[in-house]
Structure 1
Amino acid sequence: MRHTPLTRQDLSFASKTIIICILLITSSMFYFIINNEQSSSSMGRLTSSFTSLRSSLEVNGVRCRLSMKESDNWFCESDSDWKRRKILHHIQDKRNRISNSRSLFFQNNWEPTIQCAFERRLGNTGDGGKWVCDIHRFGGNNTKILVYSFGSNGDFSFERAIQEQFPKAEIHTFDLGVYQCPANVCTFHQVRLGDGKNDSSKSFQTIVTDLGHARREIHLLKVDIEGSEYNLFEEMFRISTDKTIQVMPYVRQILFEIHLPTDRSELSSQRTHRLFELFRANNYAIFHKEANLFDAQNVFEYALLHVNRAFFIAQS
């Protein structure tokens, strides 16, 4: 048989064919390697997601029972984190009554002992706004929270901010002056706030009874009443320990401005110490403190969170 010799054109075609085959094989190998790595990465991410979910379920379902119990169902965190939180509270609490010096009272006394991861300010950025602890824990925007705002002076920025977060909130604003709540935001009550005794004032107990809220939870109690907060809180906590009073509302957070009495002696300091000890005795922990720079020596903003009595018991 006679063989036909290969021409240069035939060799060129064969070379190109071989090169194309090599490129196809190489591309296939790269595709396989990359796809395999992506699959491994995806599997790793999926495994990580399941691990995180399992961890979250463990915390929410089992491991946060202690924190939920001792915070009155407010914080959900692992037992180790909760115990660490309690230790830090007790360390600071022991340092919170240091001095009776009137001139630098708030510089030396009553610092926060508990922290809120999602604390936020509602209302004006200056005077009038208040810091709230983890407001999302109250629930979704359909939650019908109950809010008391004692002291307004015509500033309703706090009430507006609450209403924006919770359109179904029931908000009551109280002031000695006569003001008009913004439409569909709050209900205004003209009243003198205090201990309800000899100054024509109304006490906290009288107000909640008149409004039919004695069996309700008050989610936020905002107080800015220019010095009358002493009488208001002292009477409020006296009532809470009075065995003849059957029902008092549960107040979750107290957000208030405190004004040192004009008495320049240490008697005003001692009364302020007693007030904060009343808060602690009634299971309130400080989570925020800031000076009012209009009168930083005498006026401070505080925010308190109600937790279970067990939180205040030192670990052995």
Structure 2
Amino acid sequence: MRRAGPAIFAVLLGCAARGSRDGADTGPRDARSNDAPPALVPPAQPPARPLAGPTAPAVEDACGGSLPKMACIPGGPFLRGSDDGPKNERPRATVEVDAFLMDTTEVTVEAFEACVTARNCKPVHTIYSDFSRPRQPKVGVSWYDARDYCVAMGKHLPTEAEWEKAARGVDGRRYPWGDAPATCELAIIMDARGRSCGVAKEGAKPETGRTFEVASRAPNEYGLYDMSGNAWEWVADWYSASYEACGDSCSGKNPKGLCAGAASCPRSTTRIVRGGSWYWEADHATTTFRSHHLPGNEPYHHYGFRCAASLDEAAKLTAGR
């Protein structure tokens, strides 16, 4: 697979940059432009999508700059998991990640199709036209499709720890906006009106619903959109029944989950998805909720993704590798 073309500009990067409620996770039911690598911009220029909240200047200072359509997530320890949710979220404990950058939105249909046109990604056809508009998140992708796209962009699928760090913000929020429960004013979820906030899929029963365009709701403190709702997001890790069961593989610094995310894992058959979606209720949209699915599955309604970039990956992009 060919990589997308290199970026040219330089930057100084200053940071080293449902399941059931008893924990027996069943996962979602249904099955079947982040453009080419962006140029880095100097620290003096604003990010392509402004960071939100009172901590935004501190975040920018921590990274010394930004990538268009990406936000910097400062490194350091954070509290991951919850002792109040399903068993698979337990225990709540401190882990640490290095600084990294995260796409501000889920990868869109137009961005994915650009990768296909460039012959860097294989085609993934969406069954319903309601899910095929340019600025909707690209859904119907397998874990492998998501991984391959990110690699083609010179990036990677975020680890589960990276994803949760980015979703929770600087103060460990239950939802990207705070601790208030998810509503349709805050996220694209299922509510009393039905799936996708009562917006029906064309030519179908009203309860079916669809995704919305990315960034249709406000971002979190890091400037990330749709970390709750809209599309489930694949992450790199193999699924474990709990962090405790995962053991050292889910602990410490830069945890990568069972088998360190290797191509195969004798201890697991499913990969993790995060963030909830338009199809599921508010309790799936917390920053700690964990679900999972077979990595080769392509559920046409639900699964999308976004990419992350380590500082080394960002440097390689600028060096033309």
Shorter chain as normaliser: what TM range?
Answer: under 0.3
Q: Which has the larger radius of gyration?
A: 1
Greater fraction strand:
1
For normalisation by structure 2, the TM-score amounts to: 0.25
The higher relative CO (CA closer than 8 Å, separation ≥ 6) is in 2
Greater fraction helix: 1
Q: Give the TM-score, by structure 1 length.
A: 0.26
